[in-house]
Amino acid sequence: MRLGRESDIGGYDWPTILLWGLLVFCGWAMIFAAGYQDDGSFESFYDLNKTYGKQLLWIVVGLTIVGLMQLLESKIYRTFSPLFYGGAALLLVAVLFTKPINGATSWFDIGGFRFQPSEFAKVSTCIMLATYLSLPTSRMQELRVKLTALAIIIGPLFLVLLQGDVGSCLVYFAFVIMLFRAGMNAFLYILGITALFLSIAALLYDDTWWLVNLILLISSAVLMKSWKKNDLWLGLIAGAALLSYLLFEPLGFMVVSIFNATLFVTLAILNILEKNWETSIYASVISLVAILFSTSVNYIVNNLIGTHRQERIWVWLRPEKCHPLGPLYNVEQSKFAIGSGGWTGKGFLQGERTKLDYVPEQSTDFIFCTVGEEWGFLGTFLIISLFFALILRILFLAQRQRSLFSKFYALGVACILFLHVFINVGMTTGLVPVIGIPLPFISYGGSSLLSFSILMGLLIKLDSRRLFVFR
């Protein structure tokens, strides 16, 4: 095989590398800020007793690995992907037999260094999935392929769940997003998103009758539309909605619900009389399922998922329900820390809230608080922009790959990054419930940093050879 000039095979994508480098640098600066104390204990940047010293070591290790990866033939990653995948699975099983740390058996403790195999399983799953989807026989239209692809995701996800680490599990939903791009049924995603919003709506109030009535009214509107094509008739539904709203308190939910249910049934029968069987049946089934689902969500959250997770959900959606010093405290302190930054922040190393231990886990999962407090809105905007620029750039890289493997791999990387950033920044700002996953490149932690280095290293390697590979 002849190696051509750099431009023949594509070459490195410098914008990606630049964005990545900037994020790693900002990350280290933040860890330094979170760990630095102005009490004269600072000795040097390489002080291995401090988080920033260790992180610097990890960055160097990461760079070395990325460098080595560039030397290897890119084909081998694809060829050996089942090996990586199997190895990661073995590690995930092995870690189950270690001593639990913080209630989860997620770490190997080797000489004081903690190593978290689930971080690396993420990488190998990404490679494996890309390999499978790029096989000539993998046609996404076939059910067999869809199921196999899902199985590849669910395997490690299940093992991580056994560790008791729900946060790392959710990361595997990144691959579900990736499968959407690869051609998984859009219907499933619409269903999922609908279910998500229905649950949130149901959880916002103890009483779900308002939601039941809302669903009834919406489906009534759909039925009305199919019965009488003239939109003016929809005014009738609007009237019913207004009446329900006004009479909900004085008459009680029972009367209003019965009224709305009657309206819905009447419209369904009218549709059937008009020979609109399909609409009628679909609307009935969907609204019935939706009502059942939304009424059972509160029960599930209250009784089935365990107090710990339940608390996090209430902290997120119903802070008024929570004890102010319980789980709510952490999220509030995190928001206070970010909020206290204002427009421009208090300046580098000036953050007090993060430093004074008001924020939990200030150098790992809640590192974004330091960004918010010390660099203000400009800083948070900068970091979020850098991340999303990188993610969009990777999506663009995916689009320009000739090899399907490279393409799906890049998509996987983009989705993983997206999910990490969205959940982590979202949880520190109160947008999503608290789920303990790190902020890529920025959170302190060797396993996380190394796995993201490997992820990115392989990406730029594959991308640099994009023209060399022909379809």
Closer Cβ to another protein, 424 or 448, answer by number: 424
- Name the token pair of 258: 């019965």
Q: From CA 182, how far away is CA 430, in angstroms rounded?
A: 31
Closer Cβ to another protein, 219 or 354, answer by number: 354
Q: From CA 77, how far away is CA 255, in angstroms rounded?
A: 64
Binding flag, residue 338, another protein (CB under 8 A): yes
CB of 141 to another protein, least distance (A): 8
Distances (CA, A) of 75 to 16, 140, 326, 405: 22, 23, 52, 10
The sign of the dihedral angle between the CA atoms of 330, 332, 338, 340 is negative
Binding flag, residue 182, another protein (CB under 8 A): yes
**Are the C-beta atoms of 229 and 244 separated by less than 8 Å?**
no
Q: Residues 76-115: x/- map of binding to another protein (CB under 8 A)?
A: ----------------------------------------
* Among 84, 107, 387, 452, contact with another protein (rule: CB under 8 A): 387
CB of 380 to another protein, least distance (A): 4
Q: What share of the chain is helix, strand, coil (3-state, %, to 5)?
A: 70, 0, 30
Q: From CA 110, how far away is CA 471, in angstroms rounded?
A: 44
Binding flag, residue 269, another protein (CB under 8 A): no
CB of 95 to another protein, least distance (A): 24
**Interaction residues for another protein, span 388-427 (CB under 8 A):** 388, 391-392, 395, 398-399, 404, 407, 414, 418, 421-422, 425-426
Closer Cβ to another protein, 115 or 388, answer by number: 388
Binding flag, residue 131, another protein (CB under 8 A): no
CB under 8 A, 24+ apart: contacts of 379-384: 379/341, 379/345, 380/338, 380/341, 380/425, 382/26, 383/23, 383/26, 383/442, 384/421, 384/425
- Name the token pair of 435: 């789920």
The site for another protein (CB under 8 A) is made up of 37, 39, 134, 136, 138, 140-141, 177, 180-183, 186, 324-325, 329, 332, 335-336, 338-343, 352-353, 355-358, 372, 376-377, 380-381, 384-385, 387-388, 391-392, 395, 398-399, 404, 407, 414, 418, 421-422, 425-426, 429-431, 471
